[in-house]
Structure 1
Amino acid sequence: MPGFQCHNGVAVTLEPLYARHVDDLWEASQAADVSWAYLKYRPFPTKNDMAAHITRISGLERQPFFAVVPASSGKAEGWVSFCNIASADAAIEIGSVWFSPQLQRTRAATEAIFLMMQHAFTLGYFRVVWRCNDLNAASKRAARRFGFTYEGTWRGDWIVKGRRRDTAWFSIVEPEWPARRTLFETWLNESNFDANGVALKPLSSET
């Protein structure tokens, strides 16, 4: 099972999520209502509400959460977790992803997912899963961009915020990872970014 440890990249660091991240995350969450649309939880009306939520999820032994801290700001701007961990089957999911608007579609966001994938495969997991609300077109595009393969849609399997949802499933398996890792590393290399931090070339699976 993945432990609670820091994962250091060039553009981002993943830190075990703790109460000390609340101030940063509350700041990042302002005017970000749309970013909560497909998550189980709603936007938080107060900082205390967010703090209570972070206290709860940071203590989940079977679902380690990480604060996503871009090097550009040095502040937590989102979170991500490992979930549905089936060690006996060597399967794990990257889920409960919340990236604030300023983090979305950045080098740091891509590297954060890469670090999660790399850690999972380094630990010996064979199957890494990405799933999302079938209405969440952005998440489905992200899954394909990261190299996950669409597996199908479970119809009506959850009720979220009072509405029944269909869930789209994606995965990447260990034999696919070495080639995919190389593509990530090439994309993340400093030579792929201009002076403004904009990528010169896309990940190969981008369209």
Structure 2
Amino acid sequence: MKDLSNFSPRPLPGASSLPGRLVRLEAYQADQHAPGLAKAVGGPENADTWTFMPFAPFPAGEAFAPAFKSVSIERGWLPYVIIDNSSNEILGTASFMRLRPEHGSCEVGCVAFSDKLKRTAHASEAMYLMARYVFDELDYRRYEWKCHNENLASRRAAARFGFQYEGVFRNDMVMKGKNRDTAWFAMTDDDWPYIRADFEAWLAPENFDTDGIQKISLSSLRARRAQQQQQQQQQQ
């Protein structure tokens, strides 16, 4: 166990840009980003994106910015937009939330990907960039992911991105007139070096062929790492 006798509150997230090879993340600014983000995840055509979120879908057009601002302020989010480096198109959003700098802990949430971003290396790189920022630059101890327990896609994504399942908070919320049980996932600063190594091995250009098809999956790398750690523990 690490000595925390000299631990001090960690800085709040606030970088204006988190650059990557495929995407960059920029701290949300309504005047710059609202129209593109509204197109990516707003409006009735994207309503399914918000099914498992504890608020209504965001509208399209000019109504998006005030609605997104209201929810962000009310819930204490620090939203970022995910931008494709090649096209400069906004493809989605994710926010830092449940900020507890006095404990070195925060959560990633309101993860909303456009159809163009879903199931792509760009999406995985975006989640890697946020985690790297939290652990390597801000020196946090814990990074959380939470979702509706019935949101199987989000649960699978959390595991793929390296978050460990920690259990279910039953009857956690009344959401849209129904009960929500919330599944909790997290990674810690002890986990991060292994998670980072797997992310970087998977995201490396040589892991993709000329058609952009992965040669080895991130899930396979995670499974191989877990097996190696289990073998090491058995040998001790």
TM over 0.5: yes
Question: Aligned partner of 1:111: which letter?
Answer: E
Match of 2:222 in 1: 205
Report 1 or 2 for greater relative contact order, CA contacts < 8 Å, sequence distance ≥ 6: 1
Match of 2:185 in 1: 170
* Cα distance change, pair 183–173 in 1 and its aligned pair in 2 (3 A): same
Q: How does 1:10-25 map to 2 (within 5 A)?
A: 10-19=21-30, 20-25=32-37
The answer to whether 1:196 aligns with 2:211 is: yes
**Could you tell me the TM-score, scaled by structure 2's length?**
0.81
Match of 2:106 in 1: 92
Q: How does 1:42-191 map to 2 (within 5 A)?
A: 42-56=56-70, 62-122=76-136, 123-191=138-206
Answer yes or no: is the 8 Å Cα contact 2:171–2:180 preserved in 1. yes
Quote the RMSD (CA, aligned, Å). Answer: 2.0
Give unpaired runs (5+ residues) of structure 2: 1-11, 225-236
Q: Aligned partners of 1:17 and 1:7: how far apart in 2?
A: 12
Answer yes or no: is the 8 Å Cα contact 2:59–2:67 preserved in 1. no
Q: Who wins on radius of gyration, i.e. which is larger?
A: 2
* Cα distance change, pair 56–202 in 1 and its aligned pair in 2 (3 A): same
**Could you tell me the TM-score, scaled by structure 1's length?**
0.92
* Cα distance change, pair 196–60 in 1 and its aligned pair in 2 (3 A): farther
3-state DSSP of counterpart to 2:213: coil
Q: Aligned partners of 2:191 and 2:223: how far apart in 1?
A: 17
Answer yes or no: is the 8 Å Cα contact 2:198–2:222 preserved in 1. no
Answer yes or no: is the 8 Å Cα contact 1:134–1:168 preserved in 2. yes
Deviations for 1:106-126, whole angstroms, at most 9, x for unmatched residues? 111101110111111121111
Q: Aligned partners of 1:84 and 1:201: how far apart in 2?
A: 34
* Cα distance change, pair 154–61 in 1 and its aligned pair in 2 (3 A): closer
Query: Which stretch of structure 1 is more off in the superposition, 20-29 or 91-100?
Result: 20-29
Instruction: Give how far 1:54 is off.
Output: 3.2
* Cα distance change, pair 199–117 in 1 and its aligned pair in 2 (3 A): same
Give unpaired runs (5+ residues) of structure 1: none
Answer yes or no: is the 8 Å Cα contact 1:144–1:206 preserved in 2. no
Higher share in helix = 2
Q: Aligned partners of 1:48 and 1:174: how far apart in 2?
A: 41
